[in-house]
Amino acid sequence: MRVLVAEADLQVAALMRRSLEAAGFSVDLCSSGAEATKYVNQGGYDALVLDASLPDRDGLSVLTQLRASAQAIPVVLLSRTDSPRDRARQLELGADDSLSRPFDLTELIARIHAVLRRARGEINPNVLRVGELSLDLVRREVRRLDESVELTNREFSLLACLMRNPGEVLSRPQLCAEVWNFHHDPGTNVVDVCVQRVRRKIEFPGQAPLIETVRGIGYRLRVG
Query: What stretch of H or E contains 223?
Result: none
Which of 31, 65, 25 lies closest to 45, judged by CA?
25
Q: Which CATH number applies to 127-221?
A: 1.10.10.10
CATH 3.40.50.2300 segments of the chain:
2-119
Report whether 168 contacts 220 (CB < 8 A): yes
Quick: pLDDT tens for 78-99.
988 777 778 788 888 889 888 8
Helices (H), 23-165: 33-42, 59-68, 84-92, 105-119, 153-164
Instruction: Print burial letters for 113-122: b (CB count within 10 Å at least 16), e (below 16).
Output: bebbbeeeee
Q: Where in the chain is the domain with CATH 1.10.10.10?
A: 127-221
pLDDT tens digits along 167-192? 888 999 889 888 887 776 667 899 99
The answer regarding whether domain 2-119 maps to CATH 3.40.50.2300 reads yes
pLDDT band with cut points at 50, 70 and 90 for residue 126 = confident
* pTM, entire model: 0.56
